[in-house]
Amino acid sequence: MSNIVSVVSQNEVAVITINNPPVNALSAEVRSGLLDALTQAQADKSIFAIVIQCEGRTFIAGADIKEFGQTPKLPHLPDVVLAIANSSVPIIAALHGSVLGGGFEIALACQYRVGLKGTTLGLPEVNLGLIPGAGGTQLLPRVLGLSKAMNMIITGKSIKLPDTADNALVHAVTDSDVLACALEFSHTFVKSSGGQKLNNKIVEQDDAEDIKQHALKNLVSKRKGQTAPLKALEAIMYTTQYSLEEGMKKSRKLFLECRDSPQSAAMRYAFFAEKKAQKPKLPSISAPLKNIEKVTVIGAGTMGAGIAMCLLASGLSVYLLEINAENLERGMSYIKNTLSSSVKKGRISEQQAFEQLARLTGTTEYSSIADSHLVIEAAFESMVVKQDIFAKLEATVSTECILASNTSYLDIDEIAYVVTHKSRVIGLHFFSPAHIMKLLEIVKTKHTDTNVISSCMAFAKTIKKQAALVGMCYGFVGNRMYASYGREANFLLLEGCSPEQIDKALVDFGMAMGPLAVNDMSGIDIGYKARKENPNLSVDPAYFLAANLLVDSGRLGQKTGSGFYAYDEKLNRTSDPIVMDIFKNAAQKLNIVPQSYTSEEISERLVLALINEGANILQESIAENAEVIDTIWLNGYGFPRYYGGPMFYAQQLGWKYVKEKLLALHQQTGKDWWKPSTYIDSLL
């Protein structure tokens, strides 16, 4: 018997306990331990029921993801699942925490499930480019019905265990001791009923094909380019044709195809990259992390209000500070309206909205924010404005309070110039809309204290953001790389490509949106103003000329009804021939010869620009590792997860190939930024 799976007999019930911290993942040792424990329990004639439970914070959270990509070890999980499903002694799963992936498959194979209130259940395999590989696609439709099961499996979204038993998904629910509940259920119900057979029947559903077509439609928009959800759909449909065991065999084949696919390798990499980004290497500290409960947000515009909403949703108290009552009222109304619309859409309850608003205080007085633990400045992107705010903060809040700027580009060391204790100044760069976007770029300056950094990393977890710690440079990691990507889109416009052609190429590559449609949405004038403040960026006359010309002609993007595209009142996008005329004239003046490009050439050029800038960032140690960069691009810029992020994508292309392509672009354009980063040489 393994150390991590034990079995004890308790009053004629065998209790199998798995103890494999941190999340009881189904490693080879757990799988073989479980099989041994089952055999031992089944051999004991005094036993009438078996309970499977887990130690620690959760039931089994899935297969051990680290094992994928390595030589498979016996026993395979489907065999363990089948051993449970075919057990002659009834098995009860005692659930708590997160019951995910292979963990949920084990629970579904048990004849009964009892659970702690608040337990989450899910088959998130598609998020790893996989399908449930140990019978989940065959078991869940037999428990929940085709439609519900399909929705859960192809979205990968978890559900909460029902609060009361439904005798399908769960047979008893408790809010205290789940093992005690399982034992009581065994004695009061299982012993007398003698157990039940697992549902092995073919799922009969007249509208199965309609349900499948509906799901397919959703996949096209929500899981663009991903193969695993399509395979999951195929596997789920086996339940309408085959028995459980036959369906399991056939779906296993689809699982193996997914497991060995480049998409799954990239998505598994992304899973661990995000965890790594949350744990930067920092000197150890003895002082406790700062307690952050009261937060001030300065600026009640779209960004400030979004940040405030994100903090309120995480249970924090928020002061929203504006320079005048009118601006404040606008921001407060925006928050109230957004919350009431969330209530109408059923995302939060009326009570939750009420509680959130009760924790929000609007003010125009610095004196009323004196007890803040953290201030996040989200004011206008101007050094003068920001320094003025930080000087006021210096005179108002305690020296223990962390002072953060949400600037996207500005030098935070320069902002901190007006502050005496510079070690408490940091960048907290949210992405718009801040209450929805997952990424938080945490920017350390040369003075930021380790305790302040660690406290902000912990704060990111509290507000359910994906943290990525980066160093100071213009645009930090995300926007610095985005500038190189946008730069190439602008050059291509002067070389004769249309905005539609460029955007389509990047959307076909897998980006959530094309760069020019994004620019229209965020406002072309934002980058324009930033470039004016930092003239070094515009040394090349063609660099962002296309965007600059649009701004000069009053086309600022969606907000003015025109930018790279024309927009109607509903913000529907159409192409505008005037735009191409503007670019054509500019190109002629600069003697740029029009060329034609394929979609692949366009996307490759923009992605190579990202990769080279990312490599420069690593060379300069602005990001600690490639995982930080990829985390930023996956969570803040819609880079396709099935490519793992720009740096993982480069590695998959091969760094030698990347270098050759960069050298060719350098030769073709003569532009210095195409010189391959020296970091790439270190990888060859």
Judged by CB under 6 A, the residue of 33, 90, 101, 195 near ligand 3H9 is 101
The one-character DSSP state at 570 is T
Give SS3 for 405.
strand
Does residue 136 belong to the site contacting ligand 3H9 (CB under 6 A)?
Answer: yes
Smallest distance from ligand 3H9 to CB 35, Å: 15
CB of 25 to ligand 3H9, least distance (A): 4
> Residue 268 or residue 487: which is nearer to ligand 3H9 going by CB?
268
Residue 445: which of 468, 474, 411 has the closest Cα?
Answer: 411
Distance CA 645, CA 642 (A): 8
- Parallel, antiparallel, or unpaired: how do β-strands 425-430 and 439-443 relate? antiparallel
Contact residue for ligand 3H9 among 62, 478, 514, 515 (CB under 6 A): 62
Asked if 506 is part of the footprint of ligand 3H9 (rule: CB under 6 A), the reply reads no
Gap between the Cα atoms of 155 and 109, Å rounded: 22
Peptide bond into 433 cis (omega under 30): yes
| Distance of alpha carbon 135 from alpha carbon 489, whole angstroms | 46
Both structure tokens of 161: 């265990």
Q: Does position 132 bind ligand 3H9 by CB under 6 A?
A: yes
For residue 105, give every residue at least 6 positions away whose Cβ sits within 8 Å of its Cβ, in sequence order, or none: 77, 81, 123, 132, 134, 135, 136, 139
Catalytically annotated residue among 105, 381, 441, 624 = 105
User: What is the full DSSP assignment across 214-264?
Assistant: HHHHHHHHHSTT-SHHHHHHHHHHGGGTS-HHHHHHHHHHHHHHHHTSHHH
d(Cα 573, Cα 516) in Å, to the nearest integer? 11
User: Which CB, 25 or 410, lies closer to ligand 3H9?
Assistant: 25
Helix (H, G, I), strand (E, B) or coil at 567: strand
Q: Is 527 in the site for ligand 3H9 (CB under 6 A)?
A: no
Q: Which residue in the set 22, 288, 535, 670 belongs to the binding site for ligand 3H9 (CB under 6 A)?
A: 22
Which range of residues in 60-68, 172-180, 451-459, 672-680 is near ligand 3H9 by CB under 6 A? Answer: 60-68
**Are the C-beta atoms of residues 179 and 187 closer than 8 Å to each other?**
no
Report cis status (omega within 30 of 0) of the bond before 640.
no
Phi then psi dihedrals of residue 161, to 5 deg: -60, 135
Which residue's CB is nearer to ligand 3H9, number 133 or number 427? 133
Q: Which amino acid is at 557?
A: G
Give the nearer residue to ligand 3H9 in terms of CB position, either 49 or 134. 134
Question: Which of these segments, 40-48, 99-107, 450-458, 555-563, binds ligand 3H9 (CB under 6 A)?
Answer: 99-107
Using CB under 6 A, which of the segments 95-103, 280-288, 603-611, 651-659 binds ligand 3H9?
Answer: 95-103
Q: Which stretch binds ligand 3H9 (CB under 6 A): 63-71, 538-546, 620-628, 631-639?
A: 63-71
79 token code pair: 């065999």
Choose, by CB under 6 A, the member of 25, 150, 437, 516 that binds ligand 3H9: 25
63 binds ligand 3H9 (CB under 6 A): yes
Answer yes or no whether residue 537 interacts with ligand 3H9 by CB under 6 A.
no
To the nearest whole angstrom, how small is the minimum distance from the Cβ of residue 680 to ligand 3H9?
28
Closer CB to ligand 3H9, 35 or 323, in the complex: 35
Please say if 105 is a catalytic residue.
yes
| Residue 65 within binding range of ligand 3H9, rule CB under 6 A | yes
The residue behind tokens 């907290």 is 428
**Among 5, 48, 64, 514, which residue sits at the site for ligand 3H9 (rule: CB under 6 A)?**
64
- HEC string for 134-177: CCHHHHHHHHHCHHHHHHHHHHCCCEECCCCCCCCCCCEEECCC
Binding status of residue 124 toward ligand 3H9 by CB under 6 A: yes
Bridge partners of 375, per DSSP, are: 296, 403
Q: How far is the CB of 62 from ligand 3H9 (least distance, A)?
A: 3
Least CB distance from residue 22 to ligand 3H9, whole Å? 4
Name which of 268 and 480 has its Cβ closer to ligand 3H9: 268
DSSP 619-665: HTTSBSSHHHHHHHHHHHS---GGGTSHHHHHHHH-HHHHHHHHHHH
Cβ atoms 320, 300 nearer than 8 A:
yes
Is 475 near ligand 3H9 (CB under 6 A)?
A: no
Rounded to the nearest 10 degrees, the angle between the axes of helix 325-344 and helix 302-313 is 50
3-state secondary structure of 48: coil
Helix (H/G/I), strand (E/B), else coil: 534? coil
Instruction: Work out whether 618 is an interface residue with ligand 3H9 (CB under 6 A).
Output: no
User: DSSP per residue over 316-343, as a string?
Assistant: -EEEEE-SSHHHHHHHHHHHHHHHHHHH
Residue among 9, 43, 66, 598 that touches ligand 3H9 (CB under 6 A): 66
The residue among 275 and 438 lying less far from ligand 3H9, judged by its C-beta, is 275
User: According to CB under 6 A, which residues from 353 to 372 bind ligand 3H9?
Assistant: none
Contacting residue, 33, 90, 102, 557, with ligand 3H9 by CB under 6 A: 102
The site string for ligand 3H9 over 266-285 (x = CB under 6 A, - otherwise) reads ---------x----------
Which region among 21-29, 164-172, 175-183, 659-667 touches ligand 3H9 (by CB under 6 A)? 21-29
Residue of 67, 125, 209, 350 marked catalytic:
125
614 part of the interface to ligand 3H9, by CB under 6 A: no
* Binding window for ligand 3H9 (CB under 6 A); candidates: 40-48, 120-128, 166-174, 327-335: 120-128
- CB-nearer residue toward ligand 3H9: 63 or 410: 63
What minimum distance in Å lies between the beta carbon of 36 and ligand 3H9?
Answer: 19
Bridge partners for 442 per DSSP: 428, 469
Residue positions annotated with a catalytic role: 105, 125
- Binding residues for ligand 3H9 (CB under 6 A): 22-23, 25, 58, 61-66, 77, 98, 100-102, 105, 124-125, 128, 130, 132-134, 136, 275
